[in-house]
Amino acid sequence: MNSIKVMLVDDHPLFRQGLRDVIETDPGLNVVAEAADGKLAIQLAYQTQPDVILMDINLPTINGLQVTRKIKAGLPNAQVITITGYDDAQQVLHALRAGASAYCPKDINPETIIE
């Protein structure tokens, strides 16, 4: 069985490390890249071609919604899951319109992320 390739995009190193720690508890998931800003996220997505991208919205250089649009334009099969501290209907709508497959608040249970 091939593992699911996951990319983490968040400008907070501690949050990225926490996500990595949670994801690595599942042997079917493999973190292939991490980015702290939007520009690097686009570059790494095209290089590593992840299956799933966990994407923050508020990023340096290019915001997560713009990054999602650019990645989905070139990697339409990549599933982008927006993970953010913003938890309002307008942000959910913007994320889905940008091409995100799902939207999760940052206070989500770790087990739910793996599902």
Structural domains for the chain: 4-114 (3.40.50.2300)
**Has residue 1 got a pLDDT over 80?**
no
Find the mean pLDDT for residues 63-74: 96
Give the range among 28-32, 85-89, 93-97 with minimum mean pLDDT.
85-89
**Has residue 104 got a pLDDT over 70?**
yes
How far is Cα 83 from Cα 104, in angstroms, rounded to an integer?
Answer: 5
Q: Is 8 exposed, middle or buried (0-12, 13-18, 19+ CB in 10 A)?
A: buried
Question: What tokens appear for 113 in the block?
Answer: 């992320």
Of 58, 47, 50, 61, nearest to 8 by C-alpha is: 50
How many other β-carbons are positioned within 10 Å of the β-carbon of residue 100?
24
Give 110's DSSP letter: H
Residue that wins the pLDDT comparison between 109 and 6: 6
Find the mean pLDDT for residues 44-62: 96
Flag whether the pTM goes above 0.85. Answer: yes
**Has residue 61 got a pLDDT over 90?**
yes
Q: How confident is the model at residue 91 (pLDDT cuts 50, 70, 90)?
A: confident
